Structure 1
Amino acid sequence: MKEERVSACRYLADGLTVRPGEGQEELFGQARERMKRAGVDTRSLHFRLFKRSVDARRRDDIRLVCTVLVEADEPLPARVCARAGLKPLADGKPVLRIGSEPMERPPLVVGMGPAGLFAALLLAQNGYRPVIIDRGDAVSARVEKVEKFRASGELDTESNVQFGAGGAGTFSDGKLVTRIHDPRCRFVLDTFHRFGAPDEILTLAKPHIGTDILRTVVARMLAEIERLGGEVRYRCRAEGLRENADGSVTVRTPQGEEAFSAVVLAVGHSARDTYEELIAGGFAVEAKPISVGVRAEHLQADIDRALYGDFAGHPDLGHAEYALSDTRRARGVYTFCMCPGGEVVAAASEDGGLVVNGMSNHARDGRNANAAVLVSVGCGDYEPVGGSLARGAIAYQRAIERAAFRAGGGDWYAPMMTIGDFLGGGRGSLPVDVQPTYRGGKVRPADFGQIFPLYIVESLRYALHSFAGRIAGYDKGTAILTAAETRTSAPVRILRDADCLSALGHDRIYPCGEGAGYAGGITSAAVDGIRVAESLISRFCPRG
């Protein structure tokens, strides 16, 4: 009987560690020794770095924890793989089965964030020639609108940090970290890399692209969709849906009405008008928990020293990152979307509602570190509006944003407090060593008690004290807090069938991504876009 063999010729060897500065030769030597102990002739093997993370739990003994890709000319026996602790590498490429139902009109993808981009790209690659629309602008025009708002306070409610090519993630750190363990995640990374993301996203355990590079990647992906026969339309907001007797869906936009064979709704987490249209139209839309809070800014050098000690500034480490949480009380508190060397961005999309977020360029070379400090909010905190708790969730977000706008003076200056004032009950202190980055420093001292419910304020104070036990100086009095961070996730979920992924009762409309309540971040949204495209492909055959 022939011995069972693992079919793949690429394997992962994980759990290897080196010190900063030791280099890849030391790392590959460890992998080679592991293979030799398993009885493998290493002369025909090739080694490459696959993943790398930083273990800084002991500042005096920081380690780089690595996974090495082992490439063999021939498949290795299963027993050898087990003895050497090797796992076959799956590429995560979608496995497609073309459906038989005729598609007489093109499919429509609404939204150009990660979910919409990847859904449209996969459809285009398989001959479905999708139309993809967004209410906002193309990347270059969108950047101009965002910069104009930053400089002058003139907001375009259709094209801003939330809306336009690339979605909200375009103006972020471009983080690709995700907690989901879907094999499609690797395909997402490979696709971003193919369209211009840096090589390191394929090896870092916490990969990021950076807003400056991500903009180019998004533009190239959209150009590829067009090259493959798809159509890209900007300033084209979906204003209404009508399901027809022949199964098609008519979509109303500022450019008129048009029928499509299927519609993917990847509208993003800030499309409140779309949510209202769906609720009023009888779609099953439920409220979901969210988180709200502030952006905390510290000097990046202080964070580096606190986490890396004498290794701060080592080229193998880069800037220090953190992710903190405390769930010991009824309301969980945590940090989100930490941006090393980044800035706090003006993320509003509605007149009179002030929102902040974080952003970094790829180099992460700014003076400050920033992160959202958030408090968990449950559905029990909402009040129904018009008989709908989903509307109540949206109203909860909006009320905080409007209060932040008023607290900042009503002219797009953001309300700010030093951590010293916030924890000590003071008010009015101006920034000293940590200079605010929101709109180049357009902030005003304010009282966060005028913005948030008391339970949010008390939870934020608890969070800062708690996190200072993990990072020395996190509660430093001169660090600053800027309000309000409210758009970390969608406040609602558009319910869909668990198998075919179409909206309940609407079998040709497919809610998708973060805006539909099924993802949280760039990678998971992209994966959900792929899953929805796979569902359409398995049902329909391309037009002739």
Structure 2
Amino acid sequence: MLRITELTLPLHHPEEALPAAICRRLRITPRELVRHVIARRASDARDKTDIQLVYSVDVNVRDEAAVLARFRKDRGVQRTPDTRYQFVAKAPESGVSLRPVVIGAGPCGLFAGLILAQMGFRPIILDRGKVVRERTKDTWGLWRRSVLNPESNVQFGEGGAGTFSDGKLYSRIKDSRHLDRKVLTEFVKAGAPPEILTEAHPHIGTFRLVTMVESMRETIEQLGGEYRFSTRVDGLDIATDAEGKRRVRGLHLHTGDTLEADHVVLAIGHSARDTFAMLHAAGVYVEAKPFAIGVRIEHPQSWIDKARFGADAGNSILGAAEYHISHHCKNGRTVYSFCMCPGGTVVAATSEEGRVATNGMSQYSRNERNANSGLVVAIDPARDYPGDPLAGIALQRHWESAAYVAGGSSYKAPAQRLGDFLAGRPSESLGSVVPSYRPGVHPTDLAQCLPDFAVAAMREALPVFGRQIPGYDHPDVVMTGVETRTSSPVRFTRGDDFQSLNTAGLFPAGEGAGYAGGILSASVDGIKVAEAVARSIVG
């Protein structure tokens, strides 16, 4: 089978245009084309008056050798790569003395547990939160009744923070082993739409993620894995061997029990701040990491569709339009869009009492009234919180607490019309753009819950973005604060063997450890770490 890449056709092409284009590209007759399958489809809307679809296609032809010889110097025509996943190890038939433990049941922990289970290692998976459906009820408790459960919310529980998101399944990771394909394939097995295997920017949405997470848990349990929910790890049992090397020997649970373990995957997510502090106190190597802070910004989705697709706005192939923008400011800061959610809602994402944090979420249909994204400003440890690896957490907490007060101390979020924000005056009411945040917003001045440098940078960037996307800086656009959980503020640095630099047997993984950013990259990292655990166990 051959793969053709960069095959371009007009948006409104008829079905028969694709095989005809394949024949032209390969310089063969229609009789020589046996079969074709779309491997990937993307859209190119740089010219919104002439939107193109860009295909990668796998084809069978009658004389493959002749075609390959004809295109031997053309990278656009190659043999189709083998994307099948190959396991790196297998558990001994006699079993292992101590089962590997995975802390965290988000995307990273889920795939670490799945791969270990598929290799026969029967992992134990711990999560401080609840099973996904109970967790969903608790999350709605905050959104509908302003009641926060600090152990079961948008951040904590089965499925992790990615469950309440747009469900994006693309990233910028370089993946020569096609581990991303393994992730997508397992998601389809668990109930995701097959289209995620071919779309250039696939997504799932919250409702589908819930059922998929349940299905994958059942698979892990059928393979001998074990889940323990509402189980928080409050300490490590670390021993020093004869060579003076620290090794993990067990986990102290909040119940008072100790779980023996010598291979522990640390997939705790980016908001487990108390666990970060525990690990730091236990001497596990940790360093501060850059992240970003800002707001959620909402526009009517129809504005974004028209700005991006012109007359083709609303086309079912194109779906709801997205955007990715950035601007380098005079004060040395960079403002950029983050986690854009077409046709979605802004949600309450705090995990701590007396604080407000926002995030974005979409369903698979992406058919809600507004588009939203993070409008955030990059910050870095050396400049903004030097000296203490946990100082970024203190910075996040400070502005989340300020947002709680600015919102009326009731888990409502502070909000402001964009026009008022640019003018430096508080909003007393909102305009034509209706905010989607639950449990509600309080019009105010966002400058009181953001660093001065972030306010200045966003005020410079917004008119620039308005020239790039018509309507982006409309005065009635709603900004809701604060967006602080863009990524982990720490990194638990690991070596080439994926183990902590100074604590053997501890495998930092995923977004919370500073090695991923989003569902797909966290899942891929979970696979890599599971493989490292397996290699370590079998020697």
Q: Which moved more, 1:18-27 or 1:211-220?
A: 18-27
Match of 1:450 in 2: 448
Work out the CA distance in 2 between the residues paired with 1:73 and 1:110. 52
TM-score normalised by length of structure 1? 0.93
Match of 2:487 in 1: 489
- The alignment partner of 1:340 has SS state of strand
Per-residue deviation, 1:158 = 0.6
Match of 2:369 in 1: 367
Per-residue deviation, 1:381 = 3.7
Match of 2:11 in 1: 20
Cα distance per residue 1:341-368 (max 9 Å; x no partner): 1000000000111000000000011000
Cα distance per residue 1:255-303 (max 9 Å; x no partner): 4111023100000000111110111111110001111100000001111
Match of 1:307 in 2: 308
Match of 1:535 in 2: 532
Work out the CA distance in 2 between the residues paired with 1:76 and 1:350. 62
What does residue range 112-261 of structure 1 map to in structure 2 within 5 Å?
Answer: 112-182=105-175, 183-244=178-239, 249-255=249-255, 256-261=257-262
- On the 8 A contact 2:89/2:119 being kept in 1, the answer is no
Selected match of 1:33 from 13, 18, 24: 24
Work out the CA distance in 2 between the residues paired with 1:221 and 1:458. 45
Match of 1:437 in 2: 436
- The alignment partner of 1:540 has SS state of helix
Residues 540 and 23 of structure 1, relative CA distance in 2, 3 Å threshold: farther
- On the 8 A contact 1:414/1:482 being kept in 2, the answer is yes
Letter in 2 for 1:135: R
Letter in 1 for 2:523: A
Per-residue deviation, 1:245 = 6.6
Letter in 2 for 1:495: T
Per-residue deviation, 1:452 = 1.1
Per-residue deviation, 1:73 = 8.0
What does residue range 506-517 of structure 1 map to in structure 2 within 5 Å?
Answer: 506-517=503-514
Residues 308 and 394 of structure 1, relative CA distance in 2, 3 Å threshold: same
Residues 74 and 345 of structure 1, relative CA distance in 2, 3 Å threshold: farther
Per-residue deviation, 1:376 = 0.5
Structure 1 runs of 4+ off > 6 angstroms? Answer: 99-102
Matched, 1:520 2:517: yes
- On the 8 A contact 2:91/2:121 being kept in 1, the answer is no
- On the 8 A contact 1:343/1:359 being kept in 2, the answer is yes
Match of 1:462 in 2: 460
Matched, 1:82 2:75: no
- The alignment partner of 2:218 has SS state of helix
- On the 8 A contact 1:98/1:540 being kept in 2, the answer is no
- The alignment partner of 2:203 has SS state of coil
Residues 33 and 148 of structure 1, relative CA distance in 2, 3 Å threshold: same
Per-residue deviation, 1:126 = 0.8
Match of 2:53 in 1: 64
Cα distance per residue 1:451-505 (max 9 Å; x no partner): 11111101111221121121011000111000000001000000111x2100012
Matched, 1:351 2:353: yes
Per-residue deviation, 1:94 = 3.8
Work out the CA distance in 1 between the residues paired with 2:293 and 2:63. 53
Work out the CA distance in 1 between the residues paired with 2:181 and 2:60. 17
Match of 2:244 in 1: none
Per-residue deviation, 1:129 = 0.1
- The alignment partner of 1:200 has SS state of helix
Work out the CA distance in 1 between the residues paired with 2:431 and 2:327. 29
- On the 8 A contact 1:244/1:250 being kept in 2, the answer is no
Work out the CA distance in 2 between the residues paired with 1:98 and 1:228. 13
Work out the CA distance in 2 between the residues paired with 1:519 and 1:163. 17
- On the 8 A contact 2:127/2:157 being kept in 1, the answer is yes
- On the 8 A contact 2:295/2:480 being kept in 1, the answer is yes
Letter in 1 for 2:520: T
- The alignment partner of 1:510 has SS state of strand
Work out the CA distance in 1 between the residues paired with 2:316 and 2:508. 43
Letter in 2 for 1:320: A
Letter in 2 for 1:428: S
- On the 8 A contact 1:94/1:534 being kept in 2, the answer is no
Match of 2:34 in 1: 45
Match of 1:501 in 2: 498
- The alignment partner of 2:534 has SS state of helix
Residues 94 and 457 of structure 1, relative CA distance in 2, 3 Å threshold: farther
Letter in 1 for 2:219: E
- The alignment partner of 1:417 has SS state of strand
Work out the CA distance in 2 between the residues paired with 1:520 and 1:174. 12
Per-residue deviation, 1:80 = 4.1
Per-residue deviation, 1:254 = 2.9
TM-score normalised by length of structure 2? 0.93
Work out the CA distance in 1 between the residues paired with 2:106 and 2:63. 41
Match of 1:3 in 2: none
- The alignment partner of 1:482 has SS state of strand
Letter in 2 for 1:279: H
Unaligned 5+ segments in structure 1 are: 1-8
- The alignment partner of 1:65 has SS state of strand
Match of 1:295 in 2: 296
- On the 8 A contact 1:93/1:187 being kept in 2, the answer is yes
- On the 8 A contact 2:128/2:156 being kept in 1, the answer is yes
- The alignment partner of 1:150 has SS state of helix
Work out the CA distance in 2 between the residues paired with 1:44 and 1:60. 32
Unaligned 5+ segments in structure 2 are: 242-246
Letter in 2 for 1:151: R
Matched, 1:392 2:391: yes
- The alignment partner of 2:292 has SS state of strand
Residues 131 and 63 of structure 1, relative CA distance in 2, 3 Å threshold: same
Work out the CA distance in 2 between the residues paired with 1:76 and 1:323. 42
Cα distance per residue 1:315-349 (max 9 Å; x no partner): 22111111111236421111011111100000000
Per-residue deviation, 1:143 = 0.6
- On the 8 A contact 2:269/2:510 being kept in 1, the answer is yes
Work out the CA distance in 2 between the residues paired with 1:501 and 1:110. 15
- On the 8 A contact 2:329/2:457 being kept in 1, the answer is no
Cα distance per residue 1:13-56 (max 9 Å; x no partner): 11112222324421232122212x2x688635321122122211
Residues 287 and 73 of structure 1, relative CA distance in 2, 3 Å threshold: farther
Work out the CA distance in 1 between the residues paired with 2:98 and 2:240. 14
Letter in 2 for 1:345: V
Per-residue deviation, 1:173 = 0.2
- Percentage identity across paired residues of the two chains: 43
Work out the CA distance in 1 between the residues paired with 2:63 and 2:514. 44
